[in-house]
């Protein structure tokens, strides 16, 4: 079977991201693939819409600044060069698909909690990424 050539690791920058990274790095080592990483910032306006009657732009900027620093630290610990680090605003599933298309990734690596019950019904990011993915998806078991 052909080796992967470009792996996209999608990370939420929580502690669990290192499990996703570990698997993505192991695959990079065995296949010689290029590795890119992506963190998606969900706009507060998308999450809260008109529910909070205040200007969220300052908080949004702080979130972006913090995410930028954390993504850079995360990526440099994995030897991912700056041009392969992506910070994008939007909905995670949509942006992960869109970037995978754009950079012609042939494998997306995400974390999966294997949740049950209501969370399963509502769907997780891993589920969302799997549906309609333009390439293979590896869901790495993280947490519970």
Question: What is the number of the residue whose Cβ is closest to ligand AMP?
Answer: 111
* Binding test (CB under 6 A) with ligand AMP, winner from 24, 84, 125, 138: 125
Contact 111, 144 (CB under 8 A): no
Q: Is 97 in the site for ligand AMP (CB under 6 A)?
A: no
Q: Is 33 in the site for ligand AMP (CB under 6 A)?
A: no
* Binding test (CB under 6 A) with ligand AMP, winner from 8, 20, 78, 107: 20
* Binding test (CB under 6 A) with ligand AMP, winner from 8, 35, 124, 133: 124
Binding region for ligand AMP (CB under 6 A) out of 27-35, 56-64, 76-84, 122-130: 122-130
Q: Is 113 in the site for ligand AMP (CB under 6 A)?
A: yes
* Binding test (CB under 6 A) with ligand AMP, winner from 27, 110, 133, 137: 110
Q: Is 39 in the site for ligand AMP (CB under 6 A)?
A: yes
Contact 117, 87 (CB under 8 A): no
Contact 49, 3 (CB under 8 A): no
DSSP states along the chain: -PPPSEEEEE---STTHHHHHHHHHHHHHHH--EEEEEEEEPPHHHHHTTSS-S--HHHHHHHHHHHHHHHHHHHHHTT--GGGEEEEES-HHHHHHHHHHHTT-SEEEEEE----HHHHHH--HHHHHHTT-SSEEEEEE---
Output 10 or 133, the one with its CB closest to ligand AMP.
10
Q: Is 92 in the site for ligand AMP (CB under 6 A)?
A: yes
Contacting residues toward ligand AMP, per CB under 6 A:
10-12, 16, 20, 38-40, 92, 110-111, 113, 124-126, 142
């Amino acid at each position: 079977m052909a080796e992967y050539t470009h792996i996209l690791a999608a990370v939420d920058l929580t502690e669990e991201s290192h499990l996703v990274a570990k698997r993505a790095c192991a695959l990079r080592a065995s296949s010689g693939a290029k590795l890119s990483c992506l963190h998606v910032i969900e706009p507060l306006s998308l999450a809260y819409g008109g529910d909070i009657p205040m200007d969220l732009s300052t908080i949004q900027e702080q979130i972006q600044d913090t995410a930028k620093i954390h993504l850079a630290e995360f990526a440099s610990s994995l030897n991912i060069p700056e041009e392969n680090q992506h910070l994008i605003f939007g909905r995670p599933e949509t942006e992960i698909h869109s970037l995978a298309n754009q950079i012609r990734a042939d494998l997306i690596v995400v974390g999966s909690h294997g949740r049950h019950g209501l969370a399963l019904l509502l769907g997780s990011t891993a589920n969302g990424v799997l549906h309609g993915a333009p390439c293979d998806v590896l869901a790495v078991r993280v947490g519970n």
